[in-house]
């Protein structure tokens, strides 16, 4: 749970709250169809197609009168980098891994990714699935839906594409805080679904599962949530289930080295060509030991993190975005930000410049027989190189992070997420047909 922020103008709850909403009256018999309304959704959405700058990718829809709620927000499918990486945090999320079925290989995988990509494009536009739609999302707009696809280490042997497997996809090392359930880890294929409406997210999950048909079966699936956009008086960094602001120091796309840290370059990389403009997702189910955490006095909680709980400001003073003074001491000569504080240890300047883009969901899966909550973080982080990103930071945390006592890593996965599909392409086409 490294300490960062997604963007100054697009903090987890901020991006879609920045502009005032317009409204439209869509009354029965007014001649305005749902599809026509949805076609105007880009006016307040997070469409990123134009930002990609690559020929063949879709631009944002032209400005028009939008729907009258956050349901109007639309993210484009055909973009330079797959959707679901740089967008603000959504209110609902599903993470799901699939394994190819016995006898399914490269040909079946290509057909599956073609189906999935077509479905993702339709659903992200607020349209129904091409066939056998469940009507779960009827009456809803796109609701910032994103669907993201990735490949696990085992996918390449299943499809006889071992020579195209990136070295960066080598299995993650073991860490002392790991208590991993293998049945809920890894997988041939990974899908991330996020939306600002629970029914829209579930509708996408169901459609993706049905599209898998006989080619793939679900290996594991996890459900998450974040604060709903607009739930706070002003845009702000999200809080996790420990009550801490979580995401203050995420690298920002405005930083000159952002792409270098997060995305595989289109040339001059050791990665295979099909990974150009892609990224690597590390996925961890991190259980928070909330009963133990909540027994700590506020001062002790803040010392564990290194930031004030109320506003996320560093213990060395200032506001949330004030640079942390690691050398500041109190009257007794002790560091104001403790040496083992999570925010100190996870800083890029304490890890050779290593940085990751965190984009998590919280989760709560009920209680055990003793009433202990099974809750925590569905940690998803993005980087151009997992060894220089997540692994570097986690190794440092593993050696003395004060937060480690209150969390447990229970599932893990590493997935290669190729760049976005251009118009007329499906995700992964350059790998599967190259």
Q: What amino acid positions are annotated as catalytic residues?
A: 246
150 beta partners? 190
Of 7, 87, 78, 92, nearest to 45 by C-alpha is: 87
Cα 271 from Cα 148, distance rounded (Å): 20
End-to-end CA distance of the chain: 37
Cα 148 from Cα 426, distance rounded (Å): 12
What does the buried/exposed string (b/e) look like for 11-26 if buried means 16 or more CB atoms within 10 Å of the residue's CB?
A: bbbbbbbeeebeeeee
The three-class DSSP label of residue 95 is: strand
Cα 11 from Cα 248, distance rounded (Å): 8
Q: For residues 279 and 359, is the Cβ–Cβ distance under 8 A?
A: no
Q: For residues 100 and 164, is the Cβ–Cβ distance under 8 A?
A: no
Of 127, 401, 169, 396, nearest to 281 by C-alpha is: 169
How far is the CA of 182 from the CAs of 179, 196, 280, 410, in angstroms?
9, 30, 20, 9
| Helix runs in 39-130, H state only | 49-52, 106-124
Paired tokens of 283: 């996925």
Paired tokens of 97: 């891994």
């Amino acid at each position: 749970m490294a300490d960062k922020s997604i963007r100054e103008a697009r903090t987890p709850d901020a991006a879609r709250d920045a502009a005032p909403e317009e409204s439209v009256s869509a009354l029965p018999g007014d001649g305005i169809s749902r599809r026509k309304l949805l076609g105007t959704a880009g006016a307040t959405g997070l469409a990123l197609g134009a930002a990609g700058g690559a020929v063949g990718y879709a631009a944002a829809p032209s400005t028009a009168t939008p729907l009258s709620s956050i349901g109007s927000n639309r993210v484009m499918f055909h973009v330079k980098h797959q959707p679901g990486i740089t967008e603000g945090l959504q209110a609902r999320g599903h993470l799901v891994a699939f394994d190819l079925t016995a006898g399914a290989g490269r040909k079946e995988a290509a057909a599956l990714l073609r189906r999935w990509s077509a479905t993702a494009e339709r659903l992200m536009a607020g349209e129904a699935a091409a066939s056998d739609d469940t009507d779960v999302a009827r009456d809803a707009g796109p609701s910032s839906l994103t669907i993201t696809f990735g490949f696990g280490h085992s996918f390449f042997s299943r499809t006889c594409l071992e020579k195209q497997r990136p070295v960066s996809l080598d299995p993650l090392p073991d860490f002392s805080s790991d208590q991993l359930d293998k049945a809920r880890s890894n997988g041939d294929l990974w899908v991330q679904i996020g939306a600002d409406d629970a029914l829209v997210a579930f509708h996408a999950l169901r459609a993706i599962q049905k599209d898998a048909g006989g080619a793939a079966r679900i290996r594991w699936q996890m459900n998450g949530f974040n604060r709903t956009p607009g739930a706070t008086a002003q845009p702000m960094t999200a809080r996790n289930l420990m009550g801490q602001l979580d995401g203050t120091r995420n690298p920002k796309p405005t930083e000159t080295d952002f792409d270098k840290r997060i995305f595989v370059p289109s040339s001059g990389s050791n990665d295979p060509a099909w990974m150009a403009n892609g990224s690597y997702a590390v996925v961890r189910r991190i259980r928070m030991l909330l009963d133990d955490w909540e027994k700590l006095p506020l001062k002790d909680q803040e010392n564990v993190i290194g930031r004030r709980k109320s506003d996320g400001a560093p213990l060395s003073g200032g506001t949330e975005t004030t640079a942390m003074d690691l050398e500041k001491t109190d009257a007794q000569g002790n560091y104001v930000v403790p040496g083992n504080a999570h925010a100190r240890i996870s800083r890029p300047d304490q890890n050779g410049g290593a940085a990751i883009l965190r984009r998590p969901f919280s989760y709560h899966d009920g209680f055990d027989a003793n009433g202990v909550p099974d809750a925590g973080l569905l940690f998803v982080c993005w980087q151009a190189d997992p060894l220089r990103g997540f692994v570097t930071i986690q190794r440092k945390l593993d050696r003395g992070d004060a937060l480690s006592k209150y969390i447990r890593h229970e599932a893990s996965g590493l997935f290669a997420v190729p760049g976005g599909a251009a118009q007329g392409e499906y995700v992964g086409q350059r790998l599967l047909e190259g």
